[in-house]
Structure 1
Amino acid sequence: RQRGGRGVTPEALLDLFLLSPVGLVDVDEHGRVEVANLAARRLLTPFTKTGSLDDLFNTLADVAPELPARVRSFNGPRGIIVDNLELLAPGQHSGVFLSLMRVSTGRNVAVITDASSLASARGLVSRLEQRFNAVLGAVREYAIYTLDSEGRVDSWSRAAVRVHQFGGGAIIGQSMSALLPPEHGGAGYVTETLALAARNGWCEEEGYRQREDGTTFWATTVVTALRDASGAAVGYSVVSHDASERRRLEEQLRDDATSTTDYLTGVSARRAFFDVAQSEVARARRYGQPLTLLLVDPDRFRDLADQHGDAFANEWLRAIAWVCRQESRTTDVVGRIGGEAFGVLLPSTELSGGLVLAERIRERMARYVFAGDFTAVRTTLSVGVAEVTEGITGVDALLATANTAVSRARQAGMNLVVGYDD
């Protein structure tokens, strides 16, 4: 055929065949190789036992033993016999994609493309799976398991067996509600929790969990959505920590509380908090160190308390205190400084660092799931952040500016973090 006055010569076609980066093999019905280009020999060498590429079927016998039968069973005069078959070389991190086409009676052409990156990726996935399984085996106090999209358990770690005392055979296929005491909310709790995790990515709660023998323990639980390529939630991972000892100590602390500890939440009482705050403000000014205060105020607290009762109000206050402690450093001071307001004092922290912590607290509270009859209740926080500056030199001024920031958050629609920066 002539194009632009120049002919495509047999020599040009031969060069194209030989130098193509794609492997090309001319093979008969019995697998004998008539001719193979350099790329084909390079890509297929890891599959050969002798280094010779005389018979394609023998070369690929270990990884594609069905090839001869597929060639024999193909009845058309031409067409695709095998399309993009993935082959991995035994014991090596190399692989190819193989397509085999009949071009005329008794004559076939194999097209081989490099799939080494896929083989390497699979090796990496295998190693990561082994490491993950090792972590699961070492974790003892955290029950780790997964749920399908309907909330049924579809994997169960050894740690989950230790924490919940359910064997895998007894719990896999069952609803997550089997792990909850009957009064905890059952199927309704599972539905609400998974919907919240699907909407926000994850959610968190504290409440009782049930062992196989019916006994219960106090747990903190995080549910995270697992998504497909389109972003839809196709399952959930669950990490549940037995926090019974921590709750026992907190209850003991409340029972034995002195004037320095808030009886309900276990954090610093107002007077103790402000004693520490005064010392920290003085130290920050003396040494020129930053100091930031978070004022954490629940949104619509009175309305929700009136709607759901004192029991819910108390649980909400305990949850706020817990979230603040969980996100704070050991050097930070958390205190209940008003009826429902909490302060978090951050030594050696600038305003920018306070804003980051405040956002974590706000977000974590928005994902919190209450236990029992309050599963469906959603709560938010408005957080004001203020820093000691040349114009803010005392605790009262620091608190007033943080309170101004909270007011601005409320005016902007609540569930916000606002820093005071005039």
Structure 2
Amino acid sequence: MTPEALLDLFLLSPVGLVGIDEVGRVEVANLAARRLLTPFTRTGSLDELFDALGAVAPDLSARVRGFGGPRGVVVDNLQLLAPGQQQGVFLSIVKVAAGRLVAVVTDAAELATAQGVIARLQQRLHAIEGAVREYAIYTLDTAGYIDSWSVAAERVHQWPESAIIGQSMSTLLPPDQVGLAHVDDTLSLAARNGWCQEEGHRQRQDGTTFWASTVVTALRDAAGETIGFSVVSHDASERRKLEERLRDDASSTTDYLTGVSARRAFFDVAQSEVARARRYGQPLAMLLVDPDRFRTLVDESGEAFGNEWLRAIAWVCRQESRTTDVVGRVGGEAFAVLLPSTELSGGLVLAERIRERMQRHVFGGEFQMVRCTLCVGVAEVSEGITSVDGLLTAAGTALDRARQAGMNLVVGYDV
């Protein structure tokens, strides 16, 4: 490259370049450097760099004097913001020879705006954490060690930030949950699927436990690689106590194992809803939910696991459904969800949410390695389907088609 081309490159470069001596006197500066650095100067002159940047980087001169090498990077991407302005730059200083340095200045015009947005988001997050009493929010690194801990997490888990940062997530698990293995399995599932959900006991610093519903979400970089995890854990102790009380005191209208409507009670409500839908011309859909390979997995893992799986299906269906929907256990391992004022398309959306949430569910204790899926058949009231039996038959047909096509599927009934 000719000297003339090198000069043009220096002058027209979009990156600011400034040649200075060891006391900061400017020997040469290109147009980009003058444009970027002028807002930092008190007089508008760029004759002396260290003096020009004294208000935002008063130690530049000392850092240059303290650099002992014959050449090398003295300052690397120092972030500067012009006082009272939205002008930001990144500054690097490189020693190229004895008494000669080059300052490299790059534009960070959006720096102040970005910092303002971050500050507002942090304020909102702190406000949310203060208002939400029963949800702990914290983050993990890729190995499962806690690297941030919110006020809400401290309130729920009763671990101070100073004691929990740097500890494994397994610290929050009771000893009988096989801590590290459980954490590794949970994070692997979240990394693979994007997120996963589980229910189980959590341990406070004093050794007491509470029942928690926990969602672990993978945090990814621009290339899609997992760089950590966010965790939201809800203290569900009161809900669990209520569910247990309901199971203990349940009448014939409630399934003793899962807490949803028993078959007869579900059919009574369904008949009323079908009649109302036909009378007023309102849509009505029904989901028929059936676990995949239920008997095989129960044979492999035991009846206790089967009961835990049925409770998990009922819980997932209730969590995803509206308060106006009715969830019932209509067979040994079959569940139905009645959706008033819902067309087939809406039923398919809900069925897909239930299917997806079930496949991400992490069981606790000895069953943590077991993964479970289900199929869902969806049908709606129509001219040809005018009764509860007709809805169940159509949803059952769709369910059979899902099973024939494979496991972990949702199919809508189509004549």
TM-score (norm 1): 0.86
Matches within 5 A, 1:273-422: 273-422=266-415
1:95 and 2:95 aligned: no
Mapped to 2, the partners of 1:251 and 1:38 lie a distance apart of 74
**Structure 1 residue 418: deviation in Å?**
0.8
Q: SS at the partner of 2:347?
A: helix
Of residues 207, 221, 233 in structure 2, which corresponds to 1:228? 221
Mapped to 2, the partners of 1:144 and 1:111 lie a distance apart of 40
The aligned residue for residue 219 of structure 1 is 212
Of residues 243, 257, 278 in structure 2, which corresponds to 1:250? 243
**Structure 1 residue 83: deviation in Å?**
7.0
CA change 1:106–1:232 in 2 (3 A) is: closer
Matches within 5 A, 1:157-168: 157-168=150-161
**Structure 1 residue 285: deviation in Å?**
1.7
1:192 and 2:203 aligned: no
Q: SS at the partner of 2:256?
A: coil
CA change 1:225–1:82 in 2 (3 A) is: closer
Q: SS at the partner of 1:116?
A: coil
One-letter amino acid of the counterpart of residue 81, structure 2: L
One-letter amino acid of the counterpart of residue 202, structure 2: R
CA change 1:81–1:247 in 2 (3 A) is: closer
Of residues 28, 52, 55 in structure 2, which corresponds to 1:59? 52
Mapped to 1, the partners of 2:90 and 2:330 lie a distance apart of 67
Mapped to 1, the partners of 2:29 and 2:301 lie a distance apart of 78
**Structure 1 residue 131: deviation in Å?**
2.3
Matches within 5 A, 1:3-18: 17=11
Q: SS at the partner of 2:110?
A: helix
1:114 and 2:107 aligned: yes
Q: SS at the partner of 1:356?
A: helix
**Structure 1 residue 139: deviation in Å?**
2.4
One-letter amino acid of the counterpart of residue 312, structure 1: F
Q: SS at the partner of 2:80?
A: strand
1:202 and 2:195 aligned: yes
Moved more, 343-352 or 153-162: 153-162
Q: SS at the partner of 1:221?
A: strand
Corresponding pairs, count: 412
CA change 1:26–1:162 in 2 (3 A) is: closer
CA change 1:163–1:393 in 2 (3 A) is: same
Q: SS at the partner of 1:401?
A: helix
**Structure 1 residue 273: deviation in Å?**
1.0
CA change 1:414–1:109 in 2 (3 A) is: closer
Question: C-alpha offsets along residues 185-211 of structure 1, whole Å, 9 cap, x if unaligned?
Answer: 322222221221121111111112222
Q: SS at the partner of 1:384?
A: strand
1:94·1:120 contact (CA, 8 Å) conserved in 2?
Answer: no
**Structure 1 residue 257: deviation in Å?**
1.2
One-letter amino acid of the counterpart of residue 187, structure 1: L
1:253·1:266 contact (CA, 8 Å) conserved in 2?
Answer: yes
Moved more, 41-50 or 302-311: 41-50
Mapped to 1, the partners of 2:140 and 2:391 lie a distance apart of 47
One-letter amino acid of the counterpart of residue 162, structure 2: G
Mapped to 1, the partners of 2:281 and 2:247 lie a distance apart of 37
The aligned residue for residue 5 of structure 1 is none
1:185·1:371 contact (CA, 8 Å) conserved in 2?
Answer: no
1:93·1:123 contact (CA, 8 Å) conserved in 2?
Answer: no
Mapped to 1, the partners of 2:28 and 2:140 lie a distance apart of 53
Question: C-alpha offsets along residues 42-72 of structure 1, whole Å, 9 cap, x if unaligned?
Answer: 4323312344434222111233445446767
1:94·1:115 contact (CA, 8 Å) conserved in 2?
Answer: yes
Taking only aligned residues, the RMSD between alpha carbons, in angstroms, comes to: 3.1
**Structure 1 residue 122: deviation in Å?**
3.1
Question: C-alpha offsets along residues 221-258 of structure 1, whole Å, 9 cap, x if unaligned?
Answer: 11122233443333222221111111111111112211
One-letter amino acid of the counterpart of residue 364, structure 2: A
1:29·1:107 contact (CA, 8 Å) conserved in 2?
Answer: yes
CA change 1:48–1:196 in 2 (3 A) is: same
One-letter amino acid of the counterpart of residue 241, structure 2: R
One-letter amino acid of the counterpart of residue 304, structure 1: L
Mapped to 2, the partners of 1:101 and 1:186 lie a distance apart of 49
Matches within 5 A, 1:131-170: 131-170=124-163
The aligned residue for residue 239 of structure 1 is 232
Structure number, greater radius of gyration: 1
The aligned residue for residue 255 of structure 2 is 262
Identical-residue share of aligned pairs (%): 74
